Amino acid sequence: MDPGATPAPVTTGRSGRITEWRPEDPAFWAAGGARVARRNLYVSIFAEHVGFSVWSLWSVVVLFLGPEYGIDPAGKFLLTAVPAALGAVLRLPYTLAVARFGGRNWTIVSALLLLVPAVPMAVLIEPGVSYATLMVLACLSGVGGGNFASSMANINLFFPDRLKGRALGLNAGGGNLGVPAVQLVGLAVLGVAGAAYPRLVPAVYLPLIVLAALAAARWLDNVPGARNEPGALRAAARDPHTWVMSLLYVGTFGSFIGFGFAFGQVLQLQFHDRFPTPVDAAWLTFLGPLVGSLVRPVGGQLADRLGGARVTFWNFVAMAGGAALVLYAARDRSFPLYLAGFLALFVFSGIGNGSTYKMIPAIFRARAAAEAERTGDPEAARRRARRLSGALIGIAGAVGASGGVLVNVAFRQSFLTSGTADAAYLAFIGWYALCFLVTWVVYLRPGPRRLAGV
């Protein structure tokens, strides 16, 4: 071998044994780095997809809980809210776990943790089970929500900056597809076995969870030298842009996951004459999460062309319009308009996921340029920007996932107080209006403090 040549990533034939990793080096990347990164990406997408499906299990299981379970609609909305809550809480520690334990090691552990909710669900869910037991099982399903954060943090380490956007978009989209996938599994179980066997839905995922852990053990790698930036989370938490972007992400990803969990129940409650049984509702519930997942990369592409803040602003205007259409259709009892409005909400929540994530590095790039001009040290400014950008993504991801809780709580409270979801739709319209106003004031309003390129 030529002594001046750049070696490929060194492995011993068993994954997890990379001894060096320099993705920004073109020679290193071409000599084998790209192949290793792609292998890790594909396995990560599969493991994250299974995690998202387990996180979303209760969006399907509640459709099986008929009168013999003795649970009213408010109780069912609570069962779909608690997985979202635990998933949101776990996102930050899961992000940090990748650097602490290694991406391969943590993916194996986080995949096996999915058995904690799935096994008892496959055993215990049947008529006569207590509501408290169901609440515990629903809460445990939240472990799947943390997998997204650790998967994104891990894949971020493998790719050079010029390819991160596409790789992270594929990883996120593949994970989000776990929501419609589990609903299709539920539809298949309902169609084949009927509503009497909810335990079959988590049972389908038991071999997939084991397969994800085995695939991670066989084909994933730990990136050497990965570490959590000391003080980055504290610094990001003190930055006002962290909380502005977290608010916007509650409106986009929070809406996506919240509507994904609640859509089947809402259909049955709003149009019970059209959807008297779970099977009748289940064939439609996967459509919204499916289109929302598939359209997510479009938000990033539009943000690249038009600017993230501009796309996010008009996206929230469109989401407010979609929620207003849903409210009108619900009051007018027009199912076609209602479905069109809800699908629009899913589409625009997916686009907003992409555009808000694109805004985060753009914010810190703009500030780094200003800092470099002021200090004369562009490299230090870029390092600080990358450090804060990564921490902000972790915080915003955790806070944004809490929107899934808020959506389900809003539906629960609305049905409890008035028997309709009208109050919830009004709350969504108000939130989206707040989001587009904040986007304009902070990132689009002309003035000397406006950040260029956001």
pLDDT tens track, the chain, 454 positions: 455 555 666 554 455 578 889 888 899 999 889 999 999 999 999 999 999 999 999 999 998 888 899 998 889 999 999 999 999 999 889 988 988 899 999 999 999 999 999 999 999 999 999 999 999 999 999 999 999 888 988 988 898 877 877 787 788 888 889 999 998 998 888 878 877 889 999 999 999 999 999 999 999 999 887 777 777 788 888 889 999 999 999 999 999 999 988 888 888 888 888 887 767 777 788 888 898 888 888 888 888 888 889 999 999 999 999 999 999 999 999 999 999 999 999 999 999 988 887 788 788 888 877 777 777 777 777 777 777 777 787 888 888 888 889 999 999 999 989 888 999 999 999 999 999 999 999 999 988 778 877 8
Q: Which helix (H) or strand (E) holds 411?
A: helix 403-418
Half-sphere exposure of 100 (CA within 13 A, CB side): 10
Angle, helix 143-158 to helix 161-176, in steps of 10 degrees: 160
Whole-angstrom Cα distance, residue 124 to residue 440?
50
Residue 103, judged by CB atoms within 10 A of its CB (0-12, 13-18, 19+), counts as buried
- The predicted structure's pLDDT at residue 10: 58
- The predicted structure's pLDDT at residue 322: 96
Q: Give the angle subtended at the CA of 199 by the CAs of 196 and 203, to the nearest 5°.
A: 140
**Residues near 400 by Cβ (< 8 Å), separated by ≥ 6?**
88, 246, 249, 250, 252, 253, 254
Q: Give the angle subtended at the CA of 450 by the CAs of 356 and 448, to the nearest 5°.
A: 175
- DSSP tally for the chain: helices H, then strands E: 21, 0
Collapsed DSSP state (helix, strand, coil) of residue 214? helix
* Model pTM score: 0.86
Q: How far is CA 244 from the centre of its chain?
A: 18
- The predicted structure's pLDDT at residue 1: 45
- CA distances in angstroms from 423 to 321, 348, 400, listed in the order given: 16, 21, 22
Q: How far is CA 212 from the centre of its chain?
A: 19
- The predicted structure's pLDDT at residue 12: 47
Segments of 250-370 assigned E as strands: none
